[in-house]
Each structure stands twice: as structure tokens, then as C-alpha cells.
Amino acid sequence: MSPVNGGATRDRLRIAIQKSGRLSDPARSLLASCGLSWRESRDKLFCYGETLPVDLLLVRDDDIPGLLADGVCDYGIVGRNVLDEAAADRAQRGLPQVSKAVRGLGFGGCRLDIAIPESAEWTGPAQLQGSRIATSYPGLLQQWLDANGVEATIVNLSGSVEIAPRLGQADVICDLVSSGATLTANQLKPAVTLMTSEAVLAGPVTPLADVRGDLASLLLRRLDGVLRLRDSRLVMFQSRRDGVDALLKLLPDAEAPTLLQVDGSDKVALQVLCHGEMTWPRLEALKQAGAAGLMVLPVERMLA
């Protein structure tokens, strides 16, 4: 039972997302493509759900794990890095885990790397023995140091981690990296990856028992449909009937095809739902194997 609201149940689901930042637009549009819409409040911190009783709370991403733990929100969209750091902190304080990632969402991808000065050579974790490492992820870093038997001083910074070595605050850093441009601009280079991250839907370890549980199931079903569709394409082509097996071998990510006899010929028309990217080389390989009239169509909606 959630400790907030006096442990009372709520009849509306509440989802926390980042108010502004890298994850806010993709999180909103993902939820919108699940059929949710909201009435914006004047303070823009709370959005009342219109199509379904699912409200949004717009907050700083770092606050999301705490809001979930306190039962203020039921679900949240947050970087796995933030969720895992909060979990590491709870573990260190001997607290039970109350939230977990329930779905990877395929955006906000990055890595948590240890980066060292460009001029240094990376020889392995032992090199960090006795060093000072600046990071905003002390819990995850400490876990990695422990796992690698390294004793180092963690310099906990909430921002501008990458300039810490130049300011003499630390020897190396442990920070998020996506393109690597920030490291290069600060004469640093990636040495080792502690974790790869993406935005996740975080939710309760124990499923919600009241009406919010039903709402969550509905939302997850829609979300699965949306996520599945994101890379799905309907591929249509014709081929000789005896060439179909060879063609389908080139589509290992396809679902069972629909075959239609083309009148007055030995040809069949095929419709196949593929879940991988349909690149030009893949299409050219299909053509080479006898596919004619190839067409790749986006799929707008699917209900399994």
C-alpha cells in the first residue's frame, strides 16, 4: 500500500515525466500515441487526463524515482541510469526496491562511461586505484568499483562533471556519453562503459491492486503495440510459388506471411509483417532472389 495519500487508493493513474529536457517530448508523444490526451493546467506541473483517467506530473527527472517510491506517482518515464542510481542508493541504505523498469522505450540512449585524459593510456580498472573520480552517479560507480576491487575517491558533482579534471577536482570522470563530443571538447576519452541506458517506463515492483492496475494493464497493452509497430513494416511483393521459401529465409524477422494466388500464373502475391529495418541492401537481396514489385509500407496501428 502506498505510504502517501494516507495509504488510500486512487482511481486515476498518475505518470511522472520530465518537465523539460531530453526525455520530455519523446515521452509525451509516446504516451499520446497510446491514445492519451491531457488538459494542461496553468502551472503546467499537472496535466489532467482527458481520454483516460491517466494524469501526468511534470517534474525533474531526478525526482521521478523518489516520487515512485513515495507512491505519489504510479509510473514514470526516466532514464535507466537515473532509476538504477536510485536503486543503488536504496540498496546501500538497506531499503527494499519498490520500482523497476517495466519496458525499455527505445529513446534517450546513452552510456555511463569512465573517461580519462586523452593523453593517458587505459590499462584496466586497477589503474583507477587511489584516484579521484568525479560523477553524478556515485551509487553506480561505487558498485562498479566494488565489483572490480578498486578503491577510489568518488567526487560527487551534480553537473559540469566533464570539466572536473581540468579544474583539478578529479583525475577522471564517470558520466553519461552519447555522441562523445563533450568528452572530446574537454580533452577526455572513454575508457570503460559501466552501463548502457535508454528511457524506460518505471513502475511498481508489486502490481497495483485497485482500478489503477486495470488502467496500467490497458496502457501497457497499448504501449506494447506502439513499440512493436515502431520498427514494423508491411512488405509486399510477388514471386514464383517455388521461390517463396528462399525469399522468406531472407526475412527472419517476419511474421507468418499471407499468400495470395495471382490469377492465371504460377505467381503468388505475399504480404509480410517485418519487425526489423527494411534497408536498401535487404530489398536488393529480395529482388535478387526473385521478388518483384516490392513495396514497403508503414503500419499505423495494430491490435494483436
Smallest gap, in angstroms, from Cβ of residue 100 to ligand PRT?
16
Question: How many of the chain's residues bind ligand PRT (CB under 6 A)?
Answer: 21
Smallest gap, in angstroms, from Cβ of residue 288 to ligand PRT?
38
- Asked if residue 38 lies in contact with residue 50, where contact means CB atoms within 8 angstroms, the answer is yes
The identity of residue 220, as a single letter, is L
- Of 166-225, which residues contact Zn ion (CB under 5 A)? none
Taking the least distance from each CB to Zn ion, the nearer of 34 and 64 is 64
Half-sphere exposure of 157 (CA within 13 A, CB side): 21
- Of 85-114, which residues contact ligand PRT (CB under 6 A)? 108, 110
Task: Give the C-alpha separation, 236 to 296, whole Å.
Answer: 6
> Of 76, 74, 40, whose CA–CA distance to 60 is shortest?
76
Candidate ranges 20-28, 47-55, 90-98, 223-231; the one touching ligand PRT (CB under 6 A): 20-28
Smallest gap, in angstroms, from Cβ of residue 62 to Zn ion?
4
What cell does 221 get? Answer: 497493452
Tell me which of 49, 65, 79, 138 binds ligand PRT, using CB under 6 A: 79
- Asked if residue 278 lies in contact with residue 272, where contact means CB atoms within 8 angstroms, the answer is no
- Of 153-182, which residues contact ligand PRT (CB under 6 A)? 175-182
Residue 253 touches ligand PRT, criterion: CB under 6 A: no
- Of 54-93, which residues contact Zn ion (CB under 5 A)? 61-62
Candidate ranges 15-23, 28-36, 68-76, 282-290; the one touching ligand PRT (CB under 6 A): 15-23
Question: What, of Zn ion, ligand PRT, none, does residue 108 touch, CB below 5 to 8 Å by kind?
Answer: ligand PRT
Q: How far is CA 56 from the centre of its chain?
A: 19
> Of 138, 11, 16, whose CA–CA distance to 69 is shortest?
16
- CB neighbourhood size of 279 (10 A): 9
Tell me which of 3, 4, 21, 40 binds ligand PRT, using CB under 6 A: 21
Smallest gap, in angstroms, from Cβ of residue 26 to ligand PRT?
10
What cell does 158 get? Answer: 551534480
Residue 287 touches ligand PRT, criterion: CB under 6 A: no
- Of 40-69, which residues contact ligand PRT (CB under 6 A)? 60-62
Question: What, of ligand PRT, Zn ion, none, does residue 171 touch, CB below 5 to 8 Å by kind?
Answer: none
Taking the least distance from each CB to Zn ion, the nearer of 61 and 74 is 61
What cell does 186 get? Answer: 574537454
- Of 191-220, which residues contact ligand PRT (CB under 6 A)? 197
Residue 82 touches ligand PRT, criterion: CB under 6 A: yes
Under the rule (CB under 5 A), what is the footprint of Zn ion?
61-62
Interface contacts to ligand PRT, rule CB under 6 A: 18, 21-23, 60-62, 79, 81-82, 108, 110, 175-182, 197
